[in-house]
Amino acid sequence: THFGFKNVPVEQKQKYVGEVFHSVAAKYDIMNDLMSMGIHRLWKRYTIEMSGARPGQSILDLAGGTGDLTMKFSRIVGDEGQVVLSDINSSMLNVGRDKLLDHGYAGNIEYVQANAECLPFADNTFDCITIAFGLRNVTDKQKALESMTRVLKPGGRLMVLEFSKPTNPGFEKVYDRYSFSVLPMLGKLVTNDSESYRYLAESIRMHPDQKTLKHMMRKAGLDRVDYHNLTGGVVALHRGFKY
């Protein structure tokens, strides 16, 4: 595919995003480390800390891809708890499952291929839902947030870890240039696929900023929504509770 993401009509976005993640799945983990210089590990660790996950709980790692968060949650919730690793993309889910099995994770993890916009779970199922670097790829984000709220238990929390808007305008310029030059170049070098990483840069630029996402989460019915900027707002962690 040689069409830029900007020119993709809404109804084709899902198909395009699917192709992107089928293409990058095998090299996904190494690319994350290279592009973020390892910092994505800190963002994820912070998300786990803020999740308040405890032994025995049910957790949904949505758009969970290669399962970094699932791995950590699996240890925390233990034998009495459960983690569902869910993703719309079979290639990402397969890489995730292989990685988790290789690392000896089995008992309390389930794998479910699903679209975040229409989750195949009963109402009030999960104590906590995380969606890390996933919401940006979803076509109808509001619908997805509503679907997540529906499957949360009352008192449960949604954690959205996602690229956001750097708070310093000078830094934002440097970062924007980095995204559109270094990311496609790294993509070309490592995966011979610069197009997918241009998509990444464009999807980051177009994603709702901190306040907009906070508003969307409120609109989806979540309570006490707040956010924390990480790395100067390159990334933000939003959190909201179901009544």
Q: 115: annotated binding-site residue?
A: yes
CA distance linking residue 99 with residue 9, whole number of Å: 34
| Residue whose C-alpha is closest to residue 132's, from 235, 31, 218, 207 | 235
CA distance linking residue 211 with residue 42, whole number of Å: 23
The answer to whether the CB of 222 falls within 8 A of the CB of 158 is yes
Options 134, 166, 187, 240; binder of ligand SAM; rule CB under 6 A: 134
Q: 193: annotated binding-site residue?
A: no
Residue of closest CB approach to ligand SAM: 65
Provide, rounded to whole angstroms, the least separation between the CB of residue 95 and ligand SAM: 9
Size of the site for ligand SAM (CB under 6 A): 19
H or E stretch at 77 = helix 68-77
Q: Is 68 in the site for ligand SAM (CB under 6 A)?
A: yes
Q: Is 133 in the site for ligand SAM (CB under 6 A)?
A: yes
| Residue whose C-alpha is closest to residue 224's, from 232, 214, 233, 234 | 214
Provide, rounded to whole angstroms, the least separation between the CB of residue 105 and ligand SAM: 15
Q: 66: annotated binding-site residue?
A: yes
Q: What x-and-dash track marks residues 14-53 binding ligand SAM by CB under 6 A?
A: ---x---x--------------------------------
Q: Is 73 in the site for ligand SAM (CB under 6 A)?
A: no
Query: For ligand SAM, which is the closer residue by CB, 45 or 224?
Result: 45
Distance (Å) of CA 242 to CA 79, 110, 210: 25, 23, 19
Q: Is 201 in the site for ligand SAM (CB under 6 A)?
A: no
Strand order in the sheet with 152-163: 109-113, 82-87, 58-62, 126-132, 152-163, 235-241, 223-230
Options 63, 77, 151, 222; binder of ligand SAM; rule CB under 6 A: 63
CA distance linking residue 202 with residue 4, whole number of Å: 9
Provide, rounded to whole angstroms, the least separation between the CB of residue 7 and ligand SAM: 19
| Residue whose C-alpha is closest to residue 191's, from 42, 74, 91, 45 | 91
Q: 63: annotated binding-site residue?
A: no
Q: Is 204 in the site for ligand SAM (CB under 6 A)?
A: no
Provide, rounded to whole angstroms, the least separation between the CB of residue 21 and ligand SAM: 4
Binding region for ligand SAM (CB under 6 A):
17, 21, 63-66, 68, 87-89, 92, 115-117, 132-134, 137-138
